[in-house]
């Protein structure tokens, strides 16, 4: 496996505060890798350490096998796209894109030709002579991307670059960013707190919390097989049910549901006793003979689907998502319904 970035026990302290508490990651070359987590989890700090804008308190950062932890930022073969784009307002679009090449001493004709090719890549050739103030937010973001890609960095660091865009533009740019990464073959390291962005674009995701990596995997792994309560709740929406675990062996668990029914499921837990069972709302079917019984409290119309907000016997809230189709039978608030868990969809979590 060709590793682009290897982070080994990276620690960052600010006085008595520990922002990163020993992070180790390997990021494969030519991949779209995302650091995902809530504000304050350490993801941007880690990105800035790779860029050289923050010094590591401990640990190593290797780029294609070379330890770069002591290199000045301008000597590192990486480029960063910031949240605010940081375009030069007095320069035209093409001069903004060519700026990094100019700093590297590339002669005028060559750098303008390269900048022109980058603008073609982000579909902005027709706007080459405009100023940033004459562009929309999405267009400015494309210029920032083109400028960062022009010097052909080995790794492109992206610090929440879509956060200032409206929803439809963010959704469109997710597709374009992934396509851009595949076309250039450059390793993208993307930082975001938006789960939808991470799931839509990433080859692999590292979920972070409180300065630690909680789980690393593909989008499907992270969503379908969360290792603990934090990952299950942070990625998408899930229902957590307290269950009694009677046996754990070879990654599987035997447990007893609150209804008294027994279930066997995959498990991140290694011990018996009380644990949380995670089940996604879309992996539940409303049926008269379900494993759980609930009372419907509210039906929320979401367009493509409906959310049934229910309460289980015993008082725990439980959400069900059902497709909005012409033949869908929608229970009324106050109705008692049975809930059947889709086979293989429940996951026992580690504490």
SS3 assignment, position 262: strand
The pair of structure tokens assigned to 61 is 């950062």
Integer distance in angstroms from the first to the last C-alpha of the chain?
32
Average pLDDT, the chain: 91
Positive or negative: CA dihedral 142, 148, 152, 153: negative
CA triple 149-155-157, angle to 5 deg? 80
Contact 158, 51 (CB under 8 A): no
pLDDT digits (tens, 9 = 90+) for 128-142: 999 999 998 888 888
What residues contact 45, with CB distance under 8 A and at least 6 apart?
12, 19, 20, 54
* Cα→Cα distances 245→242, 252, 273, Å: 10, 11, 5
- Comma-separated ranges of CATH 2.40.50.140 domains in the chain: 237-348
What residues contact 260, with CB distance under 8 A and at least 6 apart?
none
Predicted confidence (pLDDT) at residue 173 exceeds the cutoff of 90? no
What residues contact 19, with CB distance under 8 A and at least 6 apart?
12, 13, 42, 45, 211
Contact 31, 185 (CB under 8 A): no
* Between residues 327 and 160, the one the model is more confident about: 160
Average pLDDT over residues 31-60: 95
Task: Tell me the pTM.
Answer: 0.89
Looking at the structure, give the CATH architecture of the domain made up of residues 237-348. Beta Barrel (2.40)
The single residue listed with the structure tokens 């001069």 is: 95
Positive or negative: CA dihedral 68, 69, 74, 78: positive
- How would residue 1 be classed by pLDDT, with cut points 50, 70 and 90? low
Neighbour count for residue 287 (Cβ, 10 Å): 11
- Comma-separated ranges of CATH 3.40.50.300 domains in the chain: 3-224
The third-level CATH classification (topology) of the domain covering 3-224 is Rossmann fold (3.40.50)
Neighbour count for residue 171 (Cβ, 10 Å): 14
Average pLDDT over residues 276-300: 91
Share of the chain above pLDDT 90, in %: 62
Pick the closest to residue 62 from 27, 32, 36 (CA basis).
27
The single residue listed with the structure tokens 């030519």 is: 30
């Amino acid at each position: 496996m060709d590793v682009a970035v290897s982070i080994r026990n990276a620690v960052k302290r600010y006085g008595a505060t520990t922002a990163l508490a020993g992070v180790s990651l390997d990021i494969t070359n030519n991949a779209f890798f995302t650091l995902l987590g809530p504000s304050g989890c350490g993801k941007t700090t880690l990105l800035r350490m790779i860029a050289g804008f923050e010094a590591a308190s401990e640990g190593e950062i290797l780029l294609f096998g070379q330890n770069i932890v002591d290199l000045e930022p301008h000597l590192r073969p990486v480029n960063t796209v910031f949240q605010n784009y940081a375009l030069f307002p007095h320069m035209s679009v093409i001069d903004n894109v060519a700026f990094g090449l100019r700093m590297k001493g590339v002669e005028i004709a060559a750098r303008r030709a390269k900048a022109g090719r980058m603008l073609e890549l982000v579909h902005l050739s027709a706007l080459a002579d405009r100023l940033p103030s004459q562009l929309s937010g999405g267009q400015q973001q494309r210029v920032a991307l083109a400028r960062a890609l022009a010097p052909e960095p080995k790794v492109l660091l992206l610090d929440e670059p879509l956060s200032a865009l409206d929803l439809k533009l963010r959704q469109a740019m997710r597709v374009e960013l992934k396509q851009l990464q595949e076309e250039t073959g450059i390793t993208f390291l993307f930082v975001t707190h938006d789960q939808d962005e991470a799931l839509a674009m990433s080859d692999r995701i590292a979920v972070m919390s409180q300065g630690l990596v909680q789980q690393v995997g593909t989008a499907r792994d992270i969503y379908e097989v969360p290792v603990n309560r934090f990952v299950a709740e942070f990625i998408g929406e899930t229902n957590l049910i307290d269950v009694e675990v009677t046996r754990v062996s070879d990654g599987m668990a035997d447990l007893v549901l609150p209804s008294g029914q027994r279930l066997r499921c995959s498990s991140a837990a290694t011990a018996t006793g009380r644990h949380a069972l995670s089940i996604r709302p879309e992996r539940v079917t409303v049926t008269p003979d379900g494993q759980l019984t609930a009372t419907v409290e509210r039906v929320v119309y979401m367009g493509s689907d409906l959310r049934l907000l229910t309460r289980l016997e015993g008082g725990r809230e439980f959400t069900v998502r059902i497709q909005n189709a012409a033949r869908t039978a929608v229970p009324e608030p106050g109705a008692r319904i049975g809930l059947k868990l889709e086979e293989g969809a429940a996951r026992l979590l580690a504490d």
